[in-house]
C-alpha cells in the first residue's frame, strides 16, 4: 500500500466514544424512525416533498422531450444530406 494512503487513514478522526454517542448509535434506528414519523405528520414537509417530486418528474420529462427533439433533428439533417424524405411515424408531426 502507498504510505500516503496509510497516513491519511491513521489521521482519520473518529467521534469520541462518550455516553451520548453510545446511546445514539445503540438506538439510532428508533430515533430516526421517530423523526421520520414526525416529519410525515407535518403538512409543510409533505408539501415540500411533493413539490420536489413534481420538479424531478418535470425535469425528467423535459430531458426526454429534448432527447426526442434532438433525435428528430438529427434524422432530419441526415435525410437532407442523403437527399431522401425523412420517415415520420404516424401520429407525429
pLDDT for residue 17 is more than 70: yes
Let me know if residue 34 belongs to a domain.
yes
Contact 76, 86 (CB under 8 A): yes
Let me know if residue 91 belongs to a domain.
no
pLDDT for residue 92 is more than 90: no
Let me know if residue 57 belongs to a domain.
yes
Let me know if residue 4 belongs to a domain.
no
Let me know if residue 92 belongs to a domain.
no
Question: Which domain covers residue 29, as residue numbers?
Answer: 16-82
Let me know if residue 7 belongs to a domain.
no
Let me know if residue 22 belongs to a domain.
yes
Q: Look at residue 89 and give its three-state secondary structure.
A: coil
Residues 6+ apart with CB under 8 A from 15: 21
Count of domains for the chain:
1
pLDDT of residue 64: 96
Contact 32, 26 (CB under 8 A): no
pLDDT of residue 90: 66
pLDDT of residue 93: 57
- Please compute the mean of the pLDDT values over residues 3-24 and round it to a whole number: 74
Amino acid at each position: 500500500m502507498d504510505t500516503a494512503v496509510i497516513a491519511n487513514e491513521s489521521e482519520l478522526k473518529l467521534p469520541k466514544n462518550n455516553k451520548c454517542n453510545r446511546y445514539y448509535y445503540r438506538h439510532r434506528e428508533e430515533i430516526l424512525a421517530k423523526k421520520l414519523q414526525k416529519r410525515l405528520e407535518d403538512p409543510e414537509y409533505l408539501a415540500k416533498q411533493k413539490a420536489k417530486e413534481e420538479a424531478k418528474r418535470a425535469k425528467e420529462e423535459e430531458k426526454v422531450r429534448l432527447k426526442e427533439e434532438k433525435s428528430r433533428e438529427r434524422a432530419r439533417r441526415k435525410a437532407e444530406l442523403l437527399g431522401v424524405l425523412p420517415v415520420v411515424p404516424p401520429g407525429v408531426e
